[in-house]
Structure 1
Amino acid sequence: MAKPSSKPQAKPGSAANSAIRQQRRIQRQVAQADKKPTKEKSGAMQAGARRYPEPPFKKQHQPKPGSEAVLDPAPMYDAPYYKGSGKLEGKVAVITGGDSGIGRSVAVLFAREGADVAILHLGEAGDAKVTRQAVEAEGRRCLVIPGDVRDAGFCRKAVAEVIKTFGKLDVLVNNAAFQVHSARFEDLSEEHFDTTLKTNLYGYFHMSRAALAHMSVGGAIVNSGSVTGLMGSEALIDYAMTKGGIHAFTRSLAAHLVPRGIRVNAVAPGPVWTPLNPSDKTAEDVATFGAQTPMKRPAQPEEIAPAYVFLASPHCSSYITGEILPIIGGY
Structure 2
Amino acid sequence: MTTLITGAAGFIGMHVAAALLDRGERVVGMDNFTPYYSLDLKRARVARLKAHRSEAFLFLDLDFGDADALARALATTTIDRIVHLGAQPGVRYSLENPAAYIHSNVSGHVNILELARDRAVSHLVYASSSSVYGLRSDTPFRVSDRADTPISLYAATKRADELMSETYAHLFRIPQTGLRFFTVYGPWGRPDMAVWKFTEAVLQGHPIDVYNHGDMLRDFTFIDDIVNGVVLALDHPPQDDGREKPGGFTTPHRLYNIGNNRPEQLTDLIKAIEEACERKAEINPLPMQDGDVYQTFADIDDISRDLGFAPTTPLGIGIPAFVNWYRGEWAKR
Q: Do Structure 1 and Structure 2 share a fold, with TM-score over 0.5?
A: yes
**Structure whose alpha-carbon radius of gyration is higher:** 1
Partner of 2:259: 328
Provide the C-alpha distance between the structure 2 equivalents of 1:290 and 1:327, rounded to a whole number of angstroms. 23
Letter in 2 for 1:268: R
Provide the C-alpha distance between the structure 1 equivalents of 2:4 and 2:14, rounded to a whole number of angstroms. 12
Per the normalisation by structure 1, the TM-score is: 0.57
1:93/1:171 contact within 8 Å kept: yes
Partner of 1:99: 9
Provide the C-alpha distance between the structure 1 equivalents of 2:85 and 2:120, rounded to a whole number of angstroms. 18
Partner of 1:108: 18
1:114-129 aligned within 5 A: 114-123=24-33, 124-129=42-47
Letter in 2 for 1:221: L
Task: Give the structure with the higher percent strand.
Answer: 2
Change (3 A) 1:143 1:267: same
Unpaired runs of 5+ in structure 2? 34-41, 137-148, 199-207, 241-251, 262-296, 298-333
Provide the C-alpha distance between the structure 1 equivalents of 2:160 and 2:209, rounded to a whole number of angstroms. 26
1:221 equivalenced with 2:124 (yes/no): yes
Secondary structure of the residue aligned to 2:184 is: coil
Change (3 A) 1:127 1:97: same
For residues 17-36 of structure 1, give each alpha carbon's deviation from its aligned partner in whole angstroms, at most 9, with x where no partner exists. Answer: xxxxxxxxxxxxxxxxxxxx
Partner of 1:28: none
Secondary structure of the residue aligned to 1:213 is: helix
1:251 equivalenced with 2:182 (yes/no): no
Secondary structure of the residue aligned to 2:119 is: coil
1:182 equivalenced with 2:92 (yes/no): yes
Letter in 2 for 1:231: G
Displacement, 1:232? 5.5
Partner of 1:263: 175
Partner of 1:319: 239
Change (3 A) 1:182 1:101: closer
For residues 287-323 of structure 1, give each alpha carbon's deviation from its aligned partner in whole angstroms, at most 9, with x where no partner exists. Answer: 99997235xxx2222211222222222xx34537311
Displacement, 1:116? 0.5
2:123/2:237 contact within 8 Å kept: no
Displacement, 1:204? 1.4
1:293 equivalenced with 2:190 (yes/no): no
Letter in 1 for 2:193: P
Identity %: 17
Provide the C-alpha distance between the structure 1 equivalents of 2:214 and 2:3, rounded to a whole number of angstroms. 31
1:156 equivalenced with 2:71 (yes/no): yes
Partner of 1:13: none
Change (3 A) 1:230 1:112: farther
Change (3 A) 1:97 1:290: farther
Provide the C-alpha distance between the structure 2 equivalents of 1:197 and 1:289, rounded to a whole number of angstroms. 31
Unpaired runs of 5+ in structure 1? 1-90
2:18/2:49 contact within 8 Å kept: yes
Per the normalisation by structure 2, the TM-score is: 0.57
CA RMSD of aligned residues (A): 3.4
Partner of 2:228: 306
2:114 to 204, 209, 218: 209
Provide the C-alpha distance between the structure 1 equivalents of 2:24 and 2:224, rounded to a whole number of angstroms. 17
Count how many residue pairs are aligned between Structure 1 and Structure 2: 218
Secondary structure of the residue aligned to 1:324 is: strand
